[in-house]
Structure 1
């Protein structure tokens, strides 16, 4: 276990997570705003997990946390952190299985990661980017205190269309300071 919240455990991916990873990444409503296409095969999930398991959360680059429920241990999603070479900035991304969405799990999981990044590791800034049509994802970021810093119009060519991207940022001083989100 790397991070624990009230209802969740964020940990390294394990080989046994391949089927659930493939299942939620195959859901059209999950894949819609992501870089992968559905269906997402179990073989592809196994390869992704091998790659994720080799990553080090303390080193620059992507590290992917598996998100599981404390009660029952079900694997329900993931949170990725792309640590900058300067070790003071990071980008985050997150995915939650469709049947678990709308219950605050994404907010809770990302808050757990933000606590780790800001309170323990002393990062200066965490950024996030999302498809402008992904209203639920934007709401999660705003609920956590992120500031919308920009809109990149027609910025990303994905799944045979140009999409607009929203840019968000959260500074350590805003996350930890007076009036910070709880």
Structure 2
């Protein structure tokens, strides 16, 4: 997929160093399931797993976000397609240097468009750490509705954290 500034594509082996670099940033890893630093060996395994999955099949798929004019990996968009192929979950990670520039909204918006228009999904959900105000704000800018708060839902990095739940229906996305 392409947008005005980005290419969203399958991961390839050569992406491992860039993936390790941005996932090793403590600010990027702060609300994520991995710890920083993120070793190159872990990145190589992750990239192999990402590349082996399919965006059209149930399960997890990770889109690489490439800055088109620099051919540089700047982040990723996670999608989990449910077995019924009518629902999905979405998540996103962006290298610090590329945050606050609209790249995440552009990338996630392109993936949502594919999920709703090309794949015919009924609903996409998103979940984030309740302290992650920027991720919550991005979901809301894209039209997601806050559907809930799960108190002390996730034990991560030595503490219990609250999770915010968001949902977006096809009718809402397509009616924008």
Counterpart of 1:57 in structure 2 is 55
TM-score by length of 1: 0.96
Give the distance between the partners of 2:117 and 2:56, measured in 1 at CA.
14
Alignment partner, residue 131 of structure 2: 133
- Choose the corresponding residue for 2:21, options 23, 29, 44: 23
Q: TM-score, normalised by structure 2?
A: 0.99
Show the 5 A alignment for 1:16-165. 16-165=14-163
Give 3-state SS (helix, strand or coil) of 1:148's partner: strand
Q: Any idea what the Cα deviations from partners look like across 1:5-52, whole Å, max 9, x if unmatched?
A: 111000010111111100100100010100001100111000001111
Could you list the runs of 5+ residues in structure 1 that have no partner in the other structure? none
Paired residues for 1:164-175 under 5 Å: 164-175=162-173
d(CA) in 1 for partners of 2:173, 2:138 = 14
1:91 CA displacement: 0.2
CA distance in 2, matches of 1:99, 1:69: 12
Q: Note the C-alpha offset of 1:72.
A: 1.2
Q: Distance in 2 between matches of 1:51 and 1:164?
A: 29
* Structure 1 segments of 4+ aligned residues over 4 angstroms from their partners: none
SS at match of 2:70: coil
| SS of equivalent residue, structure 2 residue 51 | helix
| Count of aligned residue pairs for this structure pair | 176
Q: Which ranges in structure 2 are unaligned for 5 or more consecutive residues?
A: none
1:75, 1:9 → 2: CA distance? 9
Shift of 1:70: 1.0
Aligned to 1:122, what secondary structure does the other structure show?
coil
Shift of 1:154: 0.7
Counterpart-to-counterpart distance in 2, 1:157 and 1:33: 11
Secondary structure at the aligned position of 1:86 is classed as coil
